[in-house]
Amino acid sequence: MILHLKPNTKSAILLSIMVDKHFDFVIIGGGVAGLTAAQYGARANLSTAVIEAASNGGQSLLINDLENYPGVFPAISGYELIDAMVKQAKSFGAEFITATVKSLEKKESGFELATTKGIIAAKAVLLATGAKHRHLNIDGEEKLIGKGVSYCASCDGPFFRNKRISVIGGGDAAFDEATFLSNLTDKVYLIHRREAFRAQAAVAERVMNNPKIEKMLNKIPVKINGTEKVESIVLKDVKTGEEIVHETDAVFVFVGMDPQTELVDFVQKDSSGYVVTDENMETSVKGLFCAGDVRAKPFRQIVTAAADGAYAAHSAEKYIRGE
């Protein structure tokens, strides 16, 4: 929602009374994109704040071995990377606020964010809210979450040690997590709706060569059975239409992500709902930037999120200084 205030001294005074904190640059979301922007923003001498509702880190916290981040060798965990990034951003003066942003409005002089910790004003804002796990939306899925249906292998995998584990999806996440889960049990089923995979070649090859991972291709899940816990999953063969009941103790779902854009119904998005930016991370609204997995782009990785964050802070600095 864009609200244009008329230049009126009374409303300006009222606004400054209502605002609890003012910053040059406010970043919504403490994942890799947001944390990189915080570091760059603070180092550029902008008063910078990161607002995060939960733990900083987002999707990165789910990574056990971060093996493809340049220069980080041997691999560290996503948690270790985030811990260092938060300390680094704080060391340059970035402020961290744990709060939920309820609304974001463009004002005459910048932006106003209504948060659970009060009203915050900013000259420029970065949306770095990431994306959340997509669900299958099939019978039995919602009621069996926490009872065998999961979207996080490192969180819930250890509950299914030596059990039959099914993984749904054919992208990097499904392949990475299937590999992780194969360390916990001898029987992992990778169920994918096609014969071709989206996963990167190196990640896919590891799964293909793993004797503990059985591939079930051209199968689409239609129902998850179980009352107190997952007992089986009904799979439909996309070529023959035949349905089979596949017995399993757990169903790990990795079928992609949905961008978290609820705060910005006023910016331009692509057909999948991701926020459109130019190469400087500028959105269709002046002063509002966007970085990381919530942004429309072809390759979502930690390294591309970090690059987005650096660009966004650089662009925000130029915007704030009126360049």
Q: In the chain, which ranges are continuous DSSP H helix?
A: 9-18, 32-43, 78-91, 153-156, 172-181, 201-208, 302-320
Question: How far from the centroid of its chain's Cα atoms is residue 36's Cα?
Answer: 15
Query: Which residues between 134 and 153 bind ligand NAP (CB under 6 A)?
Result: 136
30 binds ligand NAP (CB under 6 A): no
Say how far apart CA 222 and CA 228 lie, in whole Å: 19
Instruction: Give the total residue count for the chain.
Output: 323
Cα–Cα separations (whole angstroms), residue 122 to 23, 27, 293: 5, 9, 23
Is the Cβ of residue 105 or residue 258 nearer to ligand NAP in the bound state?
258
Say how far apart CA 224 and CA 130 lie, in whole Å: 28
Please provide residue 156's backbone torsions phi and psi, each rounded to the nearest 5 degrees.
-110, -15
50 binds ligand NAP (CB under 6 A): no
171 binds ligand NAP (CB under 6 A): yes
Say how far apart CA 123 and CA 21 lie, in whole Å: 12
Please provide residue 105's backbone torsions phi and psi, each rounded to the nearest 5 degrees.
-130, 140
29 binds ligand NAP (CB under 6 A): no
Is the Cβ of residue 57 or residue 170 nearer to ligand NAP in the bound state?
170
> CA 41, 44, 48: angle at the middle one, nearest 5?
35
Of 293, 267, 271, 272, which is closest to residue 282 (Cα–Cα)?
Answer: 267
- Our answer to whether residue 155 is catalytic in this structure is yes
In terms of phi and psi (left: phi > 0; alpha: psi -120 to 50; beta: otherwise), the region of 153 is alpha
Given 65, 83, 139, 155, which residue is catalytic?
155
Report which residue type is found at 26. V
Tell me if 94 sits within 8 A of 49, measured CB to CB. Answer: yes
31 binds ligand NAP (CB under 6 A): no
Classify residue 41 by burial, with Cβ atoms within 10 Å: 0-12, 13-18, 19+: buried
Query: Which residues between 93 and 132 bind ligand NAP (CB under 6 A)?
Result: none
- Our answer to whether residue 172 is catalytic in this structure is no
Tell me if 128 sits within 8 A of 29, measured CB to CB. Answer: yes
Is the Cβ of residue 46 or residue 305 nearer to ligand NAP in the bound state?
305
Q: How far is the CB of 286 from ligand NAP (least distance, A)?
A: 29
287 binds ligand NAP (CB under 6 A): no
Is the Cβ of residue 44 or residue 128 nearer to ligand NAP in the bound state?
128
174 binds ligand NAP (CB under 6 A): yes
The region of 38-46, 88-96, 173-181, 277-285 touching ligand NAP under the rule CB under 6 A is: 173-181
Q: How far is the CB of 198 from ligand NAP (least distance, A)?
A: 4
List 57, 170, 287, 292, residue binding ligand NAP (CB under 6 A): 170
Of 271, 261, 277, which is closest to residue 28 (Cα–Cα)?
Answer: 261
Is the Cβ of residue 203 or residue 263 nearer to ligand NAP in the bound state?
203
Closest residue to ligand NAP, Cβ-based?
Answer: 171
List 27, 42, 127, 168, residue binding ligand NAP (CB under 6 A): 168
Query: Which residues between 248 and 277 bind ligand NAP (CB under 6 A)?
Result: 254-257
Query: Which residues between 182 and 241 bind ligand NAP (CB under 6 A)?
Result: 193-194, 198, 203, 220
58 binds ligand NAP (CB under 6 A): no
- Our answer to whether residue 152 is catalytic in this structure is yes
Which residues contribute to the site for ligand NAP (CB under 6 A)?
68, 136, 168-174, 176, 193-194, 198, 203, 220, 254-257, 300-301
**Residues annotated as part of the active site:** 152, 155-156
